[in-house]
């Protein structure tokens, strides 16, 4: 019998509808400037172009919440925006998507804005406007005043850190304590700065590079990978570690097993996927909330990454997308093998 059955995964996805996830993290805007180049400048050896259009998309934790709603779930969000047009746009876009935004607070920093310049269909530059230092205790407390009420009505908590300052060790400790008291599971999506502060969460999903930096352990072979997982599960006390590994797929460390799930679909070399991490975490969050284990959730999120990777820009993946691609994924799932890990 295969470790992953299509019927079981269909059952999990069918339960996404109505599951509620509290998303906590950095809010940002992805801006795309489309430019048609027409000549080379006399001032410098660079193209001169005409602006054809501009598109704004939700980034960071906002993108994660948007993905959860697109999959049929419900999302509440805790985070900050600046008192600026981008902050207002985030509130409006999330509200229109169906995300509960009463937990969004305003601070004095500008809203994080990532501007991508796309010339003749190719991205040539990205410029970020942001402040990355940690928020202080007072600002954290402004978010935490909403936490207990939101956690009480949520099925799961997802903390999404992008190293933009919202997620701090103080905020993590308080959220973990509240979630544990309420009996709710927590998924962490760390970057690097606060990776080892996610003590007490149930599941950690990140990539191999960030996990290697956080632990100081190089991944020269599978032994190095196992050492990273053992180190993290011991230090963080989590149930499972899910590590994305680019073209090598996803490796899941759960209890005493290590399982690698290869990529589901070939990458599209002409697409510029943005927000793949958020699409994966949204699927993982709803899967865990729907009764999946880490292995099943990782398999579904791996499929979401493959679907997302075929598309350009910052867009979402739906439950229908996942259901329609399970036949392709089923051929991969039948070849997955678990390897025991000795500690």
Q: So which residues are the catalytic ones?
A: 278
Angle (deg, nearest 10), helices 294-309 and 276-289: 150
Residue indicated by tokens 């530059």: 125
Residue indicated by tokens 């079981």: 8
Closest by CA to 178, choosing from 203, 158, 149, 155, is 149
201 Ramachandran zone, left/alpha/beta (phi>0; psi -120 to 50): beta
Rounded CA gap, 254 and 294, in Å? 7
Pairing of strands 122-129, 112-119: antiparallel
Pairing of strands 20-25, 47-60: unpaired
Is residue 294 within 8 Å of 328, Cβ to Cβ?
Answer: no
Is residue 29 within 8 Å of 21, Cβ to Cβ?
Answer: no
Is residue 31 within 8 Å of 115, Cβ to Cβ?
Answer: yes
DSSP codes, 116-143: EEEETTEEEEEEEE---SPP-HHHHHHH
Report CA-CA distances (Å) from 35 to 48, 51, 175, 212, 335: 9, 5, 43, 38, 45
Going across the sheet that includes 112-119, the strands are 47-60, 27-40, 112-119, 122-129
Residue indicated by tokens 């997302």: 308
């Amino acid at each position: 019998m295969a470790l992953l059955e299509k019927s079981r995964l269909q059952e999990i996805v069918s339960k996404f509808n109505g599951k509620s996830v509290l998303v906590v993290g950095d809010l940002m805007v992805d801006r795309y400037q489309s430019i048609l180049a027409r000549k080379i400048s006399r001032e410098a050896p660079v193209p001169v172009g005409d602006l054809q259009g501009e598109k704004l998309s939700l980034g960071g934790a906002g993108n994660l919440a948007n993905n959860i709603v697109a999959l049929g779930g419900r999302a509440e969000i805790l985070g900050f925006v600046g008192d600026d047009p981008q902050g207002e746009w985030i509130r409006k876009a999330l509200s229109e998507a169906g995300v509960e935004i009463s937990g969004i607070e305003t601070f004095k920093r500008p809203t994080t804005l990532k501007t991508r310049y796309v010339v003749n269909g190719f991205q040539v530059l990205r410029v970020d406007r942001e402040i990355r230092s940690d928020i202080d205790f007072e600002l954290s407390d402004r978010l935490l005043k909403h936490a207990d009420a939101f956690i009480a009505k949520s099925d799961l908590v997802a903390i999404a850190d992008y190293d933009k300052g919202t997620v701090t060790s103080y905020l993590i400790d308080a959220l973990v304590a509240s979630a544990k008291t309420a009996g709710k599971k927590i998924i962490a999506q760390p970057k690097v700065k606060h990776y080892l502060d996610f003590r007490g969460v149930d599941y950690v999903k990140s990539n191999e590079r960030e996990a290697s930096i956080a632990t100081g352990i190089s991944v020269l072979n599978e032994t190095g990978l196992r050492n990273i997982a053992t180190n993290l599960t011991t230090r963080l006390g989590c149930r499972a570690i899910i590590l994305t590994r680019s073209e090598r797929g996803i490796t899941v460390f759960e209890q005493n097993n290590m399982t690698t799930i290869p990529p589901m679909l070939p990458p599209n070399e002409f697409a510029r996927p943005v927000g793949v991490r958020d699409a994966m975490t949204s699927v993982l969050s709803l899967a865990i909330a729907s009764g999946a284990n880490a292995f099943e959730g990782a398999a579904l999120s791996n499929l979401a990454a493959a679907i997302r990777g075929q598309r350009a820009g910052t867009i979402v993946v739906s439950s229908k997308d996942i259901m329609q691609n399970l036949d392709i994924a089923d051929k991969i799932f039948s070849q997955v093998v678990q390897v025991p890990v000795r500690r």
